Structure 1
């Protein structure tokens, strides 16, 4: 976008814009945002298994509390409890669940650096129960930008942001090379050309990727209104 800012500053702007917009929303819209965030990061483990084999719960542990969290975990282990079951119990009781707008703001601020206030802890489940606990003890995990964050960026920079999501044979679609354009519009006026992000759907769930790649879009001279197109 031609900005002289680093990734952490971009995160701060994104979260600040989200909170500013949240403050101007009505109660019903704020409730809707909370429901969406809870669905993404604290899903109901009794449902959703027809789509994903693994579901995740995201929790936030304060960096300054990490040593203190080990004490009750080790006590439970000494009593004979399996380490991951003990960690699940303690983290769910003492950490912050990402299930509403304020906790989302804390979560999306995490950049995976020592300067973060929180570490991300991830509990992974299958339909049979707990699969694993990613304790992220070195604090390197960063929050992955979601649709809410991209909309906040679009509003912040007054540009439409399109996610170009491409799926192949492992993307749970019927045809090869399916492409979806997912638009994210600013809440107010548009002042600059759109920005495109490429996300390749790979892996067993076909649900996306672990990064975005910017694309440069060049308009093609229109031969006729019916054949107007954009080449990526």
Structure 2
């Protein structure tokens, strides 16, 4: 699980060893944190309007968010028109322990230090409201957390996938390690892993234009006395795209669950004894849920560190004081903007909100002292 860092009664879960943070490495691939230059131009980088969307830096939609990150000086700027926030007491599905811990984050704030430069800031964290639980929640929550009013969640998803492909194809990411991680996530070895998972999923991509032919093949197998589920499993495994590498992952993560998608998501569910069921997604409404690879690519595209704030219930917390965890995702490259915070809530480690993200609005609070913050990141 990683190590637990504590400040003022609230922990932060650090999933990687210290040496990984210092060098910018992730467990499944090399990752270089680009240090700032010694030149005055680099140490006082005023953030300029973004280039066209094909470039790797944020679009003009994020211009109001752009902060001047200068060596040794705190971040005091704030986007001019943030989304409205909600009181933690009004957020549904939270237990009293969770509410108390989250109220500390909005009152005392968290202390963030730039990973490569001598600049820091205290941010108070506020709930930015819920987003639709339609599979696009990572990108919907990120869009609200970054106040990208001129970009829809689908555009954020598209930019995230495009950034992944650029880094994957240009050697910024280690292809072999990345492919292994993707295969483990979406096409797991069904001969192992049962000590951790009761049910395992295999994701496949079916071209929309091929669905009719696949249905015909399934019907033919059923006429041979094969069950619908076994016939569907056989046809989909034979004719669909398996998500086992970066190219397939990009096709999968591009799926937003609308008519413009090229592929439909097929899910095969297995227990140790064998196939349980087949989710055929016949209406094509299933969207690809964001994973850690997507979050890192999102962070890289918008050049911001992303923290996933998890609030767990009594059956998952270390104790009542320690029910909030921060999981950090650093970009592949320089951090040029203030961090982004996304929220998850739940009552247990399994299904503890991992399928749903909500936005947090981070407000710089230069008047708050580091020594009195709720948490040091």
Q: Of residues 244, 268, 293 in structure 2, which corresponds to 1:123?
A: 268
Relative to its length, the structure with more helix (as a share) is 1
Secondary structure in 1 matching 2:194: coil
Going from structure 1 to structure 2, the CA distance change for 1:213 and 1:56 (only over 3 Å counts) comes to same
Q: Could you tell me how far 1:45 is from its partner in structure 2?
A: 0.8
Unaligned stretches of 5+ in structure 2?
A: 1-145
Q: Which residue of 2 aligns with 1:43?
A: 188
In terms of Rg, which structure is larger?
2
- For residue 31 of structure 2, what is the aligned residue in structure 1? none
The answer to whether the aligner puts 1:19 opposite 2:165 as a matched pair is yes
In structure 1, the residue matched to 2:154 is: 8
Deviation of residue 158 (structure 1)? Answer: 0.8
> Which deviates more, 18-27 or 82-91?
18-27
Shift of 1:97: 0.6
- Taking structure 1 as the reference length, the TM-score comes to 0.91
Q: Distance in 2 between matches of 1:144 and 1:90?
A: 24
Tell me if structure 1 keeps the 8 A contact 2:299–2:331.
yes
Superposition pairs for residues 1-232 of structure 1, below 5 Å?
A: 1-3=146-148, 4-25=150-171, 29-171=174-316, 175=319, 178-202=323-347, 205-206=350-351, 208-218=353-363, 221-223=367-369, 225-229=370-374
Asked whether the 8 Å contact 1:219–1:230 carries over to 2, the reply is no
Count of aligned pairs between the two proteins: 228
Separation in 2 of the partners of 1:2 and 1:62?
Answer: 34
RMSD (Å) for aligned C-alpha atoms = 2.1
1:6: Cα distance to partner?
Answer: 1.4
How far off its partner does 1:219 sit? 5.1
**Is 133-142 or 205-214 further displaced after alignment?**
205-214
2:345–2:352 CA contact under 8 A, matched in 1: no
Task: Flag structure 1 segments of 5+ consecutive residues without an equivalent.
Answer: none
User: Shift of the alpha carbon at 1:210?
Assistant: 2.5
TM-score, normalized by length of structure 2? 0.57
Which is bigger in relative contact order (C-alpha 8 A, separation at least 6)?
Answer: 2
